[in-house]
A = this chain, B = another copy of it.
Amino acid sequence: MIWYKDKNDGIVISTRIRLARNLDGIPFPNALKDKAAHSQKIKAAVKDSSSPLAAQMDYLELDNASDLNKLSLAEEHLVSPQMLEGEGKSVLISKDNTMSIMLMEEDHIRLQVILGGFRLDEAYSTAEKLDDLIESKVNYAFDEEFGYLTACPTNAGTGLRASVMMHLPGLVLTKNISRIISQVNSLGIEVRGLYGEGTEADGNLYQISNRITMGLSEAEIIERLKKVVAQVSEAETKARDILKQQYGESASDRFYRAYGTLKYARSMTSSEAKALLSEVMLGKNMGIIKESGKLSPLECMICSTPSMISRGKELSPSERDKARAEFLRENL
């Protein structure tokens, strides 16, 4: 199931494992001429195998995909934003939208597993299987000293980026987020807003991932991240308890006003929508908002970004804000 429709604990929204790999003896994609031939070779390694994973993977050449299709894949985090630019890129995506293998992104192969909730071990174990499947058919660029070689040295070594997406409104509203971010940073863990780099992320969604890919084993990287995420999660839970006390009886008024605005506004910017949807998520997590619509507030957030709302059409900002308000009224 695609991560944003899957279950989560209200704090850790999703888990992603990404492995960067390259074919041995072949230039990195930015200097590679016959990308298509190499992509076909990797595709064949996956599709022609007898692994049960093979049947699940669909192949898509992005040159032939519509802009709308590509944008959706990027917004759903099934391909990286870089995959939307340049030529000769393709992707294998599992039918359940939990696995994707990007070909000819920055590296020849970027395989990822993305799951709803806090499931680092499960995601890594699946990624490992995909990795083994490919490695059984092609030779990876690997150095005994440096490990897996990558186009950008910051990914070399394990080639592993493990990350979780967290919803941290409690830490933001109690003004603890900056402190937590610096603590986490000092442990070699990176924190980014889902939709930007600031400490006040739109929608209070944060991506937390390992900065270091070399000098640690995959297991160590994942254990470290797991520990940090558990700590941040605990801090968020405490912050929400504090908010509950601070707001007291006014909590339901606050959350329901956000809900009412989302249900009736006729025009809404992306940034307001994210802020209000984050309130509604928190209100639901706190057991205050009971109403459920066609989509969860998280699904609404993912699906109401400017590009998702435009759905490939040329819309002016004000047309988009109207379309977004309509989308939210109908689906929240």
Contact = CB atoms under 8 A, between A and B. Distances in A.
Nearest to A319: B249
Contacts of A256: 264-266
Contacts of A318: 249
- The CB with the most chain B CB atoms within 10 A, among A250, A252, A266, A268, is that of A266
Contacts of A263: 260, 263-264
A257 to B, nearest CB: 5
Contacts of A267: 249-250, 253
A279 to B, nearest CB: 12
Nearest to A263: B260
Contacts of A257: 261, 264-266
Contact of A260 (B252, B260, B322): B260
* Complex copy number for this chain: 2
Contacts of A265: 253, 256-257, 260
A307 to B, nearest CB: 22
A268 B254 CA distance: 11
A318 B268 CA distance: 31
A325 interface: yes
A269 to B, nearest CB: 11
A259 interface: yes
Interface in A259-292: 259-268
Nearest to A259: B264
Interface string A66-92: 000000000000000000000000000
Interface in A275-332: 318, 322, 325
Interface of A: 249-250, 252-253, 256-257, 259-268, 318, 322, 325
Given A253-B325, A256-B265, A259-B264, 16 more contacts: A249-B267, A252-B266, A253-B266, A253-B267, A253-B268, A256-B264, A256-B266, A257-B265, A257-B266, A260-B260, A260-B261, A260-B262, A260-B263, A260-B264, A263-B263, A263-B264
